Amino acid sequence: MRASARDEEYTAYVTARLPWLQRVAYLLCQDWHRADDLVQTAMTRLYVNWRRAGAVENLDGYARTVLVRVFLSEQRTGWWKRVAVAPDPPESAESALTADHDARLDLRAALAALPPRQRAAVVLRFYCDLSVEQTADVMHCSTGNVKSQTARGLAALRRAFEPAGVWEGES
């Protein structure tokens, strides 16, 4: 394949799938700026390996796997602990008043509080709709690990949304 044809194919793919990749990255890291950095790193790796990526059956799965591995790798380096980015300002006062917006913010905060591997397992299983086996493949771990990480993550999310006093015998 000619280099220009390969570049055009890569550019067409990234242009079409960029919003989806950014949403997945945001769900993983809970920061739009960092999500952009993750996607940029993942897309660079995808470009370097485009010949191999172009030969796979599920290109979206391949790109998602690269993205999740970039995220998990970054978590191990500690970069995310050294660099703090201020949160985005609210979009508008009007949209901040809606219940859906509040619920979304609560869910994002609860998701952000999960440890990275639990967050990755929950995002891959429920946002990306992957099976336990597919998630294990993406995360380079056993299916049992995926099940336990997912169960722990869901339990933490449930606790975050329980009304106060439920476990203290209050009604």
Q: Examine the domain organization and report whether 110 and 81 are in the same domain.
A: no
Tell me: the pLDDT tens digits for 42-68?
A: 999 999 999 898 889 999 999 999 999
pLDDT band at 88 (very low <50, low <70, confident <90, very high): low
Structure tokens of 68? 């999740």
Q: Which of 30, 57, 86 is the last residue of a domain?
A: 86
Tell me: the pLDDT tens digits for 111-155?
A: 999 999 999 999 999 989 999 999 999 999 999 999 999 999 999
Contact between 34 and 85 under an 8 Å Cβ cutoff? The reply is yes
Q: Taking Cα atoms as reference points, which of 15, 104, 58 lies closest to residue 7? A: 15
- CATH code (residue 103): 1.10.10.10
% of residues, the chain, pLDDT over 90: 60
Please name the helix (run of DSSP H) or strand (run of DSSP E) that holds residue 97, with its range, or none. Answer: none
Q: Examine the domain organization and report whether 81 and 5 are in the same domain.
A: yes
